[in-house]
Copies of this chain bind each other. A is one copy, B any other.
Amino acid sequence: MIQNEDVQLGRSQKGQVTQKLKFYQEEHRRLTVLFNITRNISTELKLDKLLYILMDEVKKALKADRCTVFILDKEKNELWSKVAHGEAEIKFDRHLGIAGYVATTGDILNIPDAYSDQRFNRDIDKQTGYHTKNMLTFPMRNKRGEIIGVFQVLNKYEGAFTKEDEQLLGAISTISATQIENAQLYEEQKKTFDSFIETLASTIDARDPLTAGHSKRIAKYADCIAQEMNILPNRREIIRYAALLHDYGKIAIRDAVLTKRGRLTVEEYSHVKEHPAYTQSILEKINFSGDYTSIPFIAGAHHEKMDGTGYPKGLIGEDIPIESRILAVADVFDALTSRRHYRNRMELEKVIGFLEENSGTHFDHNCINAFKKVKLDRILLILEDDSADFIDHADLSLLGQYNILELLDRQNGKARDAEDRLLSMTFNKYYNKTYANVSY
């Protein structure tokens, strides 16, 4: 009897326990997937990278061959996505295709056999060479229930997508929506900040017509130099901000002095020379954090010279931040290569000659050397930023093969062959704007 009871009890318990175990195992798998995805996406506030991580994670979690996350751009009425591991973007009208249908209706579309479904657009397979078998397309909603994008998963390895896959993707899309909105917010904030600084820089430059566009250009030249010097991206960002803001102190300079044509009096000149100190003291009032705290000092030191004869502090050599030494080269290069209404630019050879003569005294030798290694296409696009549309693509790709040093070598009476002469002609056509038959 006892044994018999035990057997019966054992059997019924075993059944219950096994059922429970199955439930918990399934739940465990689901939660582990969700938790891991959450952990992997939560540190990523860069939208591009976030999308790549998501596409990869969802593909693995649903045991499928491909996943694409489409983001809804409400202003442009578009769905867009990144192509995995490429720089390319896909963009189309927010109502087009199956993704568009799901983004518009909010329906979940689980299509077990794409080619027997009317809504499937075979043209895409034709274009890409991919063969879609089954697909699961799921709307992504934020906490307010608004559709902010679409998940599309293609070709589950074993059979079609199940109800459980739909549920799992539903949970993933809820988590993803939050992080995508965080990333969007963060990027918008950064973009606004960036364009704000650019706008102010242009505004300051615009007070003196001679310096229009100056701050943006020196930001770009400085970045070229910084790249040649292998300066890390976070420092390059600082150089960019410091460049854009380096002349902000000019707001404190009387415009009669700032825009005076002709020679300045001693008093006027010393007033103008106050601007980097103003730049620093104004920027110091800003609550910069982390690495950005160095921006005021860097921006304020762009008129310092290696031999200590610069201003405002007369700093010497390495006491001048490397970022400011880079700005100094970019600043002077832009001043010398700017057109005036009464004359064309100074010849490039003379400009570089001037920089070299003052290398070691005014400029840092390393910065000058780095600058001479910058490729000509990059230089030209900055020099001619206001008329870049007139530059021929073929010309740009030729110029992209040579740097400043190589151009000057070939110009300097040493042109060896037709290609050397072509290089020089091509560069100077734009540098002197002879293509436009403009006379200065």
Contacts and interface: CB of A to CB of B under 8 A. Distances in A.
B196 A193 contact: yes
Contacts of A182: 42-43, 45, 182, 186
Contact of A256 (B13, B35, B189, B256): B256
Nearest to A45: B182
Contact of A200 (B193, B194, B200, B289): B200
A122 interface: no
A10 interface: yes
Contact of A185 (B179, B186, B200, B255): B186
Interface in A157-204: 174-175, 178-179, 181-182, 185-186, 188-200, 202-204
A263 interface: no
Interface string A221-248: 0000000000000000000000000001
Contacts of A38: 35, 38, 42, 175
Given A20-B21, A28-B24, A287-B191, A42 B251 contact: no
A39 interface: yes
Nearest to A194: B287
Contact of A251 (B191, B207, B289): B207
A24 B292 CA distance: 48
A34 interface: yes
Contacts of A286: 192, 195-196, 199
A194 to B, nearest CB: 7
A178 B42 contact: yes
Contacts of A195: 285-287
A27 interface: yes
Contacts of A21: 17, 20-21, 24
Contacts of A175: 38-39, 42
A57 to B, nearest CB: 15
B17 A178 contact: no
A39 B289 CA distance: 29
Interface string A8-50: 0011011001101100110110011011001100110100000
A282 interface: yes
A143 interface: yes
B24 A31 contact: no
Contacts of A198: 285
Nearest to A17: B17
A194 B181 CA distance: 22
A354 interface: no
A290 interface: yes
Given A31-B28, A186-B185, A192-B193, A10 B20 contact: no
A289 B188 contact: yes
Nearest to A6: B7
A440 interface: no
Contacts of A285: 195, 198-199, 202
Contacts of A190: 189
Nearest to A290: B188
A115 interface: no
The 10 A-B residue pairs with the shortest CB-CB distance, nearest first, are A24-B24, A195-B287, A31-B31, A10-B10, A199-B285, A188-B289, A21-B21, A42-B178, A195-B286, A38-B38
16 contacts: A17-B17, A17-B18, A28-B28, A42-B42, A43-B143, A45-B185, A182-B182, A186-B189, A191-B287, A192-B288, A193-B196, A194-B287, A196-B197, A196-B287, A203-B282, A251-B251
